[in-house]
Amino acid sequence: MRIPYEDLVAHISRRHGVPAEQIDRRVRSRRARTGGLLSPGLAARTVSASLALGELEAKLGRHLAAKARHVSGLHEDDALQAARAEAARGRSCTLGYWARPGEQAPSIAARYARAIELVADAGLPASVSIKVDLLGFDRALLAPVLRAARARDVRVHFDAQGFETIARTHELVEEAWHLGTDVSATLPARLLRSGADAERFIRLGIPVRVVKGQGGDPEHPKLDPRQACLELVERLAGRAAFVGIATHDRRVAAPALARLAAAGTPCGLEQMRSLPRLDFVADDLELPTRVYIAYGHAGLPYAIGECLRRPAIVGWILRDLLLRHRPLSTARHSNQP
């Protein structure tokens, strides 16, 4: 018995927790790319399969990362110790709490507020990264986090790299900014909408972090991540309040920082503490480096798609699993991909 298209979309929405309108948009995009060869029902099933693969990737990531060291320990004290060590080397930090699978939103919000208090009490040059999708975009849960940030003069970075979460996250970024909170936002270059979002943040004077993005744009899946990053940087150069370049890809970091510096744009490099770091790229340009320090439940920072584009990442994963290697060389002559 054939299931009506609307019922199929509703079923996929419930199964994967993705709004029905986003599924329908992906279906229409896939049908357009195939010249209408796929029926609505078949296209919807391919979307469901893609979502299932993404969930499998996340589960695999949690399994692998349980044996890797991409967090600075499970506890806040571990994160603070790592932040102090980076501060001693002249690096600022961003603390990011990684939630446990199934952890409830009120618990996550309390962790975010606690991180703000810890950073302020320690007098560290650090911000706190939050994911408002994990709070269900609940303004009541977000409010005490923002109040703590304003009271303690700590920046809150709103992280979002996926197509499904970016719009609502940026809406809350702007609301927090209007409340007087020191905020910054992520711009995933692989999403075509990031150009318009960049204009929005330029106008408001909100600092941004440019990343490739964990997932592609469903309506523009063939965007080249490196090229998209550099094009987004070109749009921001000479106009943005501050631009952080968050990548471990030297072929993006070096030209992006050079372009921003040449335009007189306040900028810096942002690195995850446990991955091969490119601090020397920023040092050569006399630019700051900010280090992301994760704590809590381990997750996998390598997307499968990125592994396919940059095979060296597979080596990083194997190294982590076999050698349990910890923070990596920032030497000028390290063989970074």
SS3 56: helix
Listed in order, the ranges of the chain carrying CATH 3.20.20.220 are 66-323
pLDDT of residue 217: 74
Distance CA 89, CA 55 (A): 38
pLDDT of residue 333: 39
Tell whether pTM > 0.75. Answer: no
pLDDT tens-digit profile, the chain (337 residues):
678 999 999 999 998 888 899 899 889 888 888 888 889 999 999 999 888 876 775 565 544 444 444 454 568 988 999 999 999 999 999 999 999 878 999 999 999 999 999 999 999 999 999 999 999 999 999 999 999 999 999 999 999 878 889 999 999 999 999 999 999 999 999 999 999 999 999 999 999 999 998 767 777 777 888 999 999 999 999 999 999 999 999 999 999 999 999 999 999 999 998 788 999 999 999 999 999 999 987 554 444 444 545 555 556 555 554 544 444 444 453 333 3
* CATH number at 66-323: 3.20.20.220
Would you say 55 and 16 are in contact if contact means Cβ atoms under 8 Å apart? yes
Surface-to-core class of residue 186, CB atoms within 10 Å of its CB (0-12 exposed, 13-18 middle, 19+ buried): buried
pLDDT of residue 113: 98
CA trace torsion 42, 47, 50, 56 (10° rounding): -100
CA–CA–CA angle 274, 277, 281 (5° rounding): 160
**122-to-31, 43, 118, 137, 148 alpha-carbon distances in Å:** 54, 53, 6, 29, 15
pLDDT of residue 317: 53
Token pair listed for 182:
């020191």
pLDDT of residue 319: 55
pLDDT of residue 303: 45
CA trace torsion 150, 142, 117, 282 (10° rounding): -80
